[in-house]
Chain A
Amino acid sequence: MTNKNIFDSLTPIFREVLDSPSLVLTADLSASDVANWDSLNHITLIVEIEALTGLSLSTDELVSLQNVGDFVRLLFDKGYRG
């Protein structure tokens, strides 16, 4: 349930940044699956997520983010519950 809350809270950000209004987030979803998910949009996602959660993500943490599931797990581990 908690992870579902995180997915729900991240969905508007991903849809807005990736310009994909009907995008459905799944744990496996990665840049390979979404045309607009390039490096600039990836950084924008991170900055928007930091603003949403109030968390600051280190470079080592950023390196670990390869798909949506990684985002959700990291945020959960850092105490965010959506």
Chain B
Amino acid sequence: MKLDDYSSVGFFYDALRQRFPYFSGVIQKQIDTFGDHWLRLFERELEVLFAKDKKRIDQAVMGYGKFALDSMKLQVKFQKTKAYDNKTYEEAASEVYQNKEYMFGLYLPGILLSHYLWRHHFLQHMFFLEKFLPLVGSGDGKVFYDIGVGTGFYSKEMLTRSNLTGKGFDLSPYSLEHTLMLLEKHHVDKRYETNLRNIIENPVMPAAEFLVSIEVLEHLENPQIFLDSLSCMLIPGGYGLISAAINAPNADHIYLYRNSDEVAEQLLNAGFEIVDSSVDPAYSPKKDGDLVPVNVAFIVTKR
């Protein structure tokens, strides 16, 4: 594989091949599928995050490998049970969101890299760039909310590609810490503030022109209540990008969506109007009946 013009991707590929040879094929697969565009974006992200520091790239590879192994093992189990592990939000929070070692050692680096290495996550990213971002425009003088910031990836995307100011909300202090780290590396942290806040118990006012909430719904016991609160945070005529994982077990996934229609129905119930959507499977099923993880992203508005 020739990666002469993409040295950070080259370092990453070498580390992945050494640590997890069975995962290394993903690099060629993404290049074959998405071409130079993918390479440019991934190179830029790795360059900003790791500045060609091989030790830190290797640490990130380890985190990604653990995260991916964890997820894939759960997926195999899910094929048999057709159900997520019965878990409350409090249990998931204790196991994941409030567990600093798990968050920084595995979860956050894993999710961040998955935006480039997982087909459905990269397609969601493309949907954001091609369909949602044009609605944002320059963003001058406008505000967005990111609810459930995760790694901060989409807050970073909103800030680096517009002049918006933003507020990020999450229940994990480690997600907020990671988000600030990411934004500082991209030099956009001055236009952003983080809030450790439950938006259901403590709704956010005033409503904003834009909101993003990426793969949060499946982490909740009752996503409808969350969406009802989210709807109040968007002004009439504003736009939101809301996504969810379908048939995708993870250590902290509680609410099982079996298809995108179930998500759409909850969005409509919350008062959103659906403008556009993208439904992206992670891979082609190996055989009939296999449940494949799917990502669905909706652009929504309010009248």
Contact = CB atoms under 8 A, between A and B. Distances in A.
Interface of A: 30-32, 37-44, 46-47, 59-60, 62-63, 66
A43 B26 CA distance: 15
Give the residue among B65, B66, B69 with the most A Cβ atoms within 10 A.
Answer: B69
Given A39-B20, A39-B68, A59-B69, 9 more contacts: A32-B17, A32-B21, A37-B22, A39-B23, A41-B22, A43-B69, A44-B76, A63-B65, A66-B19
Interface string B249-286: 00000000000000000000000000000000001001
Interface string B70-86: 10110111000000000
Given A38-B25, A42-B22, A47-B73, A59 B66 contact: yes
A40 B21 contact: no
Given A39-B26, A40-B286, A43-B73, A30 B21 contact: yes
Nearest to A61: B69
Contacts of A66: 19-21
Contacts of B69: 43, 59, 62-63
Given A43-B72, A44-B76, A47-B73, A63 B62 contact: yes
Contacts of B23: 39
A43 B65 contact: no
Question: Which 4 A-B residue pairings sit nearest by Cβ, starting from the closest?
Answer: A31-B21, A31-B22, A42-B22, A43-B72
Contacts of A59: 66, 69-70, 73, 106
A46 B62 CA distance: 18
Contacts of B65: 63
A38 B286 CA distance: 13
Where chain B touches its partner, the secondary structure class is: helix
Identify the interface centre among A37, A39, A40: most chain B CB within 10 Å of its CB.
A39
Nearest to B72: A43
B290 to A, nearest CB: 10
Nearest to B76: A47
Contacts of A41: 22
B73 A46 contact: yes
A19 B229 CA distance: 51
B190 to A, nearest CB: 38
Contacts of B283: 40
Nearest to A46: B73
B62 A39 contact: no
Contacts of A47: 73, 76-77
Nearest to B23: A39
28 contacts: A31-B22, A32-B21, A37-B22, A39-B20, A39-B22, A39-B25, A39-B26, A40-B72, A40-B283, A40-B286, A41-B22, A43-B69, A43-B73, A43-B75, A43-B76, A47-B76, A47-B77, A59-B66, A59-B69, A59-B73, A60-B66, A62-B69, A63-B19, A63-B20, A63-B65, A63-B66, A66-B20, A66-B21
A75 B39 CA distance: 39
A45 to B, nearest CB: 9
A66 B23 CA distance: 11
A19 to B, nearest CB: 11
Nearest to B70: A59
Nearest to B62: A63
A66 B24 CA distance: 12
A1 B98 CA distance: 47
B169 to A, nearest CB: 29
Contacts of B20: 39, 63, 66
A44 B72 CA distance: 9
Nearest to A64: B19
A46 B283 CA distance: 20
